[in-house]
Amino acid sequence: MRLTEHVHKRLKARVRSGDFAVDATGGNGHDSLLLAELVGACGRVCSIDIQAAAIGATRKRLREADCLKQVQLIEENHATALATLAEAAPRATAIVFNLGYLPGSDKAVQTDTANTLTALDASAALLAPDGLLAVTAYRGHSGGQLESEAVAQWMHKKEAAGWILECHDPGFRERHPPPVLWLISPPAPGD
């Protein structure tokens, strides 16, 4: 099963009608659409992306599926947008990151380690006690391997603090390194 399919399977098991969920890297809107379908018309999704082309692509996908009304599109750096949501929004059942660049667009606009780590800290504050944070990292492009190592360290610190971590990593290969997925949830109550 591809990692994106694995993420979607886990989101389907966790996110319910009426929930609040966040797509921290909206891109072409595939994850935002799934979240919008899962939360339904009485739920809410925030879909964040730093570039207008991605926001436009996500808006189009959502409109065509008649799911636009439950989604707030936020054209902003996820480091700041998630910090704002953590202060004011309800807790999120799911937060999804798909790191890297928008497929078929300018590769210069890609997630970067510093903003990703700040956004992950804000996500930890925003996540509901039974929430799920899913992060997929791609290691084949410039900066991707370093970003992935930084995310792995962040994940292991959380695990040491009692968070429940699951990692899907087929192992690093110099040529064509595969993507890696982390799924992490806050500690169970009472732990």
3-class SS of residue 79: helix
Binding of ligand SAM by 123 (CB under 6 A)? no
**Cβ contacts of residue 120 below 8 Å, gap of 6+?**
97, 133, 135, 151, 154
The residue (of 111 and 123) whose beta carbon lies closer to ligand SAM is 111
Question: Minimal CA–CA distance to 95: which of 118, 111, 119, 113?
Answer: 119
Q: Report DSSP letters for 104-164, one per residue.
A: TS-TTSB--HHHHHHHHHHHHHHEEEEEEEEEEE--SSTTHHHHHHHHHHHHHHHHHTT-E
The residue (of 86 and 109) whose beta carbon lies closer to ligand SAM is 109
- Exactly one of 35, 47, 92, 100 binds ligand SAM (CB under 6 A); that residue is 100
Binding of ligand SAM by 3 (CB under 6 A)? no
Rounded to whole angstroms, the Cα distance separating 29 from 48 reads: 10
Smallest distance from ligand SAM to CB 93, Å: 17
**Count of residues that bind ligand SAM according to CB under 6 A:** 21
Smallest distance from ligand SAM to CB 190, Å: 34
Of 12-20, 99-107, 122-130, 151-159, the segment contacting ligand SAM by CB under 6 A is: 99-107
Q: What residue ranges bind ligand SAM (CB under 6 A)? A: 25, 27-31, 48-51, 54, 77-78, 98, 100-102, 109-111, 115
